[in-house]
């Protein structure tokens, strides 16, 4: 992945309508409950989704456009695949869609430019609302709101540099 250029290309075409997290419906108890799977989330747009996920045993994010949320290979055949909206947690304004107005990311450089990976990312919507994604969380991708990116960056830039050398990249729309 060559920095965040592919991500910017995906997210500047259409506004985001929703944030969806895949999972399954557990019907073993007295009532059905949704169980999220934390390795993937989707940014829903009008005609497609941007799939954001962390590869198994890795600590970086990948991004690609898909037609619809995809059933994880880890689900058993008899488990009912579903998604749920996280928009109320992060997109708390009464709007039909949200334009990405800034992307802040931290990259880990590889030996070759194609080896560069996105270590974490923050999407800012409408110059106000934030969604931060950290793929280094033990259980998968940790989604948080405003302030999380700055806390993560302060930790990553500590004197002992727990994640090694990193580079911050910020994208904003051209004026």
What pLDDT digit, counting tens, does each position of 117-139 carry? 899 999 999 999 999 999 988 88
47-90, pLDDT tens digit by residue?
999 999 999 889 999 999 999 999 998 898 888 999 999 999 99
Phi and psi based region of residue 33 (left: phi greater than 0; alpha: psi -120 to 50; beta: remaining): beta
Query: Residue 167 in contact with residue 79, Cβ under 8 Å?
Result: no
Q: What is the pTM of this model?
A: 0.91
Q: How many domains does the chain have?
A: 1
Determine the pLDDT at residue 2.
54
**Residue 15 belongs to what domain range?**
5-171
């Amino acid at each position: 992945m060559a920095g965040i250029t592919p991500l910017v290309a995906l997210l500047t075409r259409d506004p985001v309508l929703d944030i969806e997290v895949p999972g399954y419906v557990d019907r073993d108890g007295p009532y059905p409950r949704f169980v999220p799977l934390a390795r993937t989330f989707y940014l829903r747009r009008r005609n497609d989704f941007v799939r954001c996920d962390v590869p198994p045993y890795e600590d970086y994010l990948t991004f690609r456009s898909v037609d619809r949320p995809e059933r994880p290979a880890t689900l058993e055949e008899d488990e009912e695949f579903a998604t749920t909206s996280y928009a109320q947690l992060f997109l708390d304004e009464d709007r039909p869609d949200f334009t990405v107005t800034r992307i802040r990311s931290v990259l880990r450089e590889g030996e070759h430019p194609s080896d560069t990976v996105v270590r974490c990312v923050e999407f800012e919507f409408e110059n106000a609302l934030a969604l931060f994604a950290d793929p280094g969380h033990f259980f998968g991708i940790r989604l948080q709101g405003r302030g999380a990116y700055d806390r993560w960056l302060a930790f990553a830039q500590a004197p002992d540099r727990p994640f090694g050398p990193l580079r911050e990249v910020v994208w904003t729309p051209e004026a």
